[in-house]
């Protein structure tokens, strides 16, 4: 998804802007650009493709000189990925330059209004409309408003979502940023400010940040070494934002010797899972300690219904959460795509709890579903990774994943963290209802063994790669599982299609007979997630059905399950764990399968085509 970096301070801006853009590359984008205001006025450079292309263009052009600048990576929404559509956009007088994430919904009306005032548009974007509108108010034939007031005034006319940063050749040392519905943070450096849509572009400079709320504008000024910040609403009412301390280090977002972030993040899961459980499991007392939920424990115990929501991988975690909450906390539960929930007319009664699951805490649909549920009186919890993100701030309470920043576009360690936290929540509630101390102590004991179990699966990475290589030319795959392992099948299929571009479908194993079985022939790889458990025999029957039709069977099975060998061409072995905890283990070989398939097929694993790490538009 689009990314913003903006800098004002004592240094030349270009280096900080490019470094920031590189840190945002993982979010997904198709073009990039930067603008700097300096002694030679305002200069803008834009390019299609990677940030490295922009960097080369800048070098060829002799660089951008000045200590105030904005930069952007664009993920096309309005208009194709071309140089003309790339940001920054400028106003007609070329006085201001602006970068923007989000969508201006009334851009057609605004464009017509501006055309009548004599402005001509060169791009297909909604962003250019915003640039021209602010520019119109700012310049106005020499009688314009100052930049901050022009932003206030323009944003009062705008509907839609924005995170934006704007600079003006007329106001050296002044950066104005604003936000509604799309994230924006301001890093407080030493005598400098670095604003960005994502903490990873800030962390090299400072851990002290301000996360703007919706409808807020910040004017950041650095003149002759003196730095000043003024934060207001778009109606110019001053606000006092809270300073947050970012919970991440630069090392956490570097490759650490791995070829790809995705592999690094898969391999570090024993540690990140430990982090997701640290301080939360009291085995002796048979208790789960979740400080973030303590205040709401009674409401959670009395809750009559849970709605879990999210998108993509987070939605898969929600499906597993549904099994966990029904099983361990004995409470009715349903999992909904956030994008569907928000546009229905959902029935929320007293006693409904919504759990919004999101790695980034910024997914537009998940945020909107959360707001909808809250508006209708639900208690809202967040299961979020990114500290200080919008979802974490807008929920009544929540539990952070603590798995560290996830850079690989295909989610891995965040998913495992989500499962750990959802298990903790289910035990937290269940213990206060029907689960005895002994039962919870047993689960805690099993949970604490999981990091070692994951490490054992990871040791098979080379074997999984070699087996994957035999099947990697096949263009259609099925992933099947039952019970707790049905959502794991969905997640396995999603991982494969996201990064290897192989068509894969996941579904409940029994559902195969109701149509998809027609696809099976001797060429089709079918992955069964089949550890021993209450439905093992039934899954084996499904395996036989596939075998009878010549399908190529890959099984994820318990390490001591020799029975499975007679059916499966390939077996990925996992340690046996209790059924509710199985997804945390059975997902791991499927992550490795997808990773190796993508690498063998020669794809850019961390930057898969058309995908964005965080989807902050509907
Ligand atoms: C995008 C990503 C997925 C992710 C989904 C939800 O589609 O590509 O990997 O699962 O968004 O993101 P969230 O940050 O809310 O977990």
- For 365-394, how does the pLDDT look when each residue is reduced to its tens digit (9 = 90+)? 999 999 999 999 999 999 999 988 899 999
List, in sequence order, every beta strand (DSSP E) within 432-585.
Answer: 476-481, 503-508, 525-529, 552-558, 570-574
What are the residues whose beta carbons fall under 8 Å from the beta carbon of 39, sequence distance 6 or more?
65, 66
Backbone angles phi, psi at 166, to 5 degrees: -140, 145
Q: Is the CB–ligand 1 distance for residue 204 below 6 Å?
A: no
Q: Do residues 525 and 536 make contact, with C-beta atoms less than 8 angstroms apart?
A: no
- 495 counts as catalytic: no
Strands 244-245 and 281-282: unpaired
Q: Is the CB–ligand 1 distance for residue 389 below 6 Å?
A: no
Strands 305-310 and 287-288: unpaired
Q: 479 alpha carbon to ligand 1 midpoint, in Å?
A: 20
Q: Is the CB–ligand 1 distance for residue 614 below 6 Å?
A: yes
What are the residues whose beta carbons fall under 8 Å from the beta carbon of 108, sequence distance 6 or more?
none
Task: Return the residue whose CA atom lies nearest to atom 11 of ligand 1.
Answer: 614
Q: Is the CB–ligand 1 distance for residue 28 below 6 Å?
A: no
Q: 368 alpha carbon to ligand 1 midpoint, in Å?
A: 15
Most informative mutation of 261, 395, 614 for ligand 1 (most atoms within 8 A of CB): 614
Task: Return the residue whose CA atom lies nearest to atom 15 of ligand 1.
Answer: 358
Give the model's pLDDT for residue 529.
98
- Return the closest-CA partner of residue 137 out of 129, 149, 125, 128: 149
Task: Kindly report, residue by residue over 230-284, the tens digit of the pLDDT.
Answer: 999 999 999 999 898 887 777 777 787 898 999 999 999 999 999 999 999 998 8
Give the model's pLDDT for residue 81.
85
The sign one gets for the Cα dihedral 42, 48, 54, 57 is: negative
Helix (H/G/I), strand (E/B), else coil: 389: coil
Q: Is the CB–ligand 1 distance for residue 174 below 6 Å?
A: no
- 2 counts as catalytic: yes
Q: Do residues 313 and 331 make contact, with C-beta atoms less than 8 angstroms apart?
A: no
Structure-token pair, residue 433: 């209802």
Question: What stretches of 25-90 show up as alpha helix (H) in DSSP?
Answer: 51-60
CA distance 418 to 422: 6
Distances (CA, A) of 368 to 126, 182, 363, 618: 22, 12, 9, 9
Tell me the whole-structure pTM to 2 decimals: 0.82
Chain centre distance of CA 89: 26
Q: Do residues 95 and 42 make contact, with C-beta atoms less than 8 angstroms apart?
A: yes
Most informative mutation of 199, 308, 360 for ligand 1 (most atoms within 8 A of CB): 360
Q: Is the CB–ligand 1 distance for residue 392 below 6 Å?
A: no
* Partners of 547 in beta bridges: none
Given the residues 43, 219, 264, 613, select the one marked as catalytic.
613
Give the model's pLDDT for residue 165.
98
Burial class (CB in 10 A: 0-12, 13-18, 19+), 283: middle
Number of H helices, E strands in the chain: 18, 26
What are the residues whose beta carbons fall under 8 Å from the beta carbon of 542, sequence distance 6 or more?
480, 509, 510, 512, 513, 528
The per-residue b/e assignment along 98-127, b for 16 or more CB within 10 angstroms, e otherwise, is: bbbbbbbeebeebbebbeeeebeeebebbb
pLDDT, averaged per 10 consecutive residues of the chain (618 residues), comes to 93 95 84 92 92 92 92 85 92 95 92 95 94 95 90 96 95 96 93 94 93 95 93 96 83 81 96 94 91 95 97 98 97 96 88 97 95 95 91 94 91 98 98 95 97 97 97 95 98 97 96 87 93 96 92 96 94 98 98 98 89 76
Most informative mutation of 75, 359, 387, 617 for ligand 1 (most atoms within 8 A of CB): 359
Q: 314 alpha carbon to ligand 1 midpoint, in Å?
A: 7
Structure-token pair, residue 378: 């639900």
Q: Is the CB–ligand 1 distance for residue 359 below 6 Å?
A: yes
Q: 69 alpha carbon to ligand 1 midpoint, in Å?
A: 30
Give the model's pLDDT for residue 44.
94
Q: Is the CB–ligand 1 distance for residue 360 below 6 Å?
A: yes
CA distance 42 to 167: 9
* Partners of 72 in beta bridges: 4, 33
Given the residues 2, 180, 413, 607, select the one marked as catalytic.
2
The per-residue b/e assignment along 571-590, b for 16 or more CB within 10 angstroms, e otherwise, is: bbbbbbbebbbbbbbbbbbb
- Return the closest-CA partner of residue 110 out of 85, 135, 142: 135
Distances (CA, A) of 566 to 39, 384, 543, 561: 75, 42, 11, 11
């Amino acid at each position: 998804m689009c990314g913003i970096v903006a800098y004002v301070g004592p240094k030349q801006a270009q280096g900080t802007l490019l470094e920031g853009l590189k840190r945002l590359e993982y979010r997904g984008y198709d073009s990039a650009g930067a603008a700097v205001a300096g002694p030679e006025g305002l200069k803008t450079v834009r390019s299609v493709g990677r940030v490295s292309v922009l960097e080369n263009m800048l070098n060829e052009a002799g660089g951008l000189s000045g200590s105030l600048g904005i930069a952007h990576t664009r993920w096309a929404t309005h208009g194709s990925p071309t140089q003309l559509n790339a940001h920054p956009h400028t106003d007609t007088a070329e006085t201001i330059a602006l970068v923007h994430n989000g969508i201006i919904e009334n851009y057609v009306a605004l464009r017509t209004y501006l055309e009548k005032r004599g402005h001509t548009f060169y791009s297909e974007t909604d962003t250019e409309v915003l640039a021209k509108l602010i520019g119109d108010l700012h310049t106005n034939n020499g009688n314009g408003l100052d930049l901050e007031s022009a932003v206030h005034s323009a944003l009062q006319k705008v509907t839609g979502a924005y995170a934006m940063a704007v600079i003006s050749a007329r106001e050296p040392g002044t950066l104005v940023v604003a936000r509604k519905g799309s994230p924006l943070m301001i890093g407080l450096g030493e005598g400098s400010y670095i604003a960005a849509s994502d903490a990873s572009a800030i962390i090299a400079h400072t851990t002290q940040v301000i996360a703007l709320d919706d409808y807020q504008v910040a004017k950041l000024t650095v003149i002759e070494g003196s730095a000043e910040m003024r934060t207001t609403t778009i109606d110019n009412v001053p606000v006092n934002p809270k300073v947050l301390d970012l919970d991440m280090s630069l090392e956490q977002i570097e490759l650490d010797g791995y070829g790809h972030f995705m592999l690094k993040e898969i391999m570090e899961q024993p540690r990140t899972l430990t982090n997701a459980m640290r301080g939360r499991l009291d085995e002796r007392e048979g208790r789960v300690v979740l400080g973030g939920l303590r205040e709401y424990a009674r409401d959670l115990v009395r809750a009559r219904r849970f709605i879990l929501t999210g998108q993509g991988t987070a939605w898969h975690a929600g499906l597993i959460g549904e099994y966990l909450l029904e099983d361990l906390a004995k409470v009715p539960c349903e999992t909904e795509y956030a994008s569907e929930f928000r546009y229905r007319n959902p029935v929320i009664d007293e006693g409904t709890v919504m759990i919004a699951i999101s790695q980034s805490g910024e997914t537009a649909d998940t945020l909107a579903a959360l707001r909808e549920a809250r508006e209708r009186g639900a208690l809202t919890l967040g299961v979020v990774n990114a500290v200080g993100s919008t979802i974490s701030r807008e929920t009544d309470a929540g539990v952070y994943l603590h798995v560290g920043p996830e850079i690989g576009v295909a989610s891995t360690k965040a998913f495992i963290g989500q499962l750990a936290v959802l298990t903790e929540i289910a035990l937290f509630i269940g213990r206060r209802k029907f689960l005895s101390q002994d039962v919870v102590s047993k689960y805690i004991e099993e949970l604490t063994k999981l990091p070692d179990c994951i490490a054992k699966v990871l040791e098979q990475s080379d074997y999984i790669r070699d087996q994957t290589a035999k099947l990697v030319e096949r263009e259609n795959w099925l992933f099947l599982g039952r019970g707790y392992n049905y959502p794991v099948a969905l997640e396995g299929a999603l991982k494969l299609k996201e990064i290897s571009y192989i068509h894969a479908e996941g579904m409940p194993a029994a559902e195969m007979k109701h149509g998809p079985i027609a696809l099976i022939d001797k060429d089709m790889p079918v992955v069964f997630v089949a550890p021993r458990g209450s439905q093992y025999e039934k899954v084996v029957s499904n395996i036989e059905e596939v075998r009878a039709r010549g399908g190529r069977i890959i099984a994820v099975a318990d390490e001591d399950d020799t029975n499975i060998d007679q059916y499966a061409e390939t077996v990925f072995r996992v340690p046996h764990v209790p059924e509710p905890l199985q997804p945390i283990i059975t997902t791991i070989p499927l992550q490795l399968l997808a990773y190796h398939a993508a690498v063998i097929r020669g794809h850019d694993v961390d930057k898969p085509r058309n995908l964005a790490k965080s989807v902050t538009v509907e």
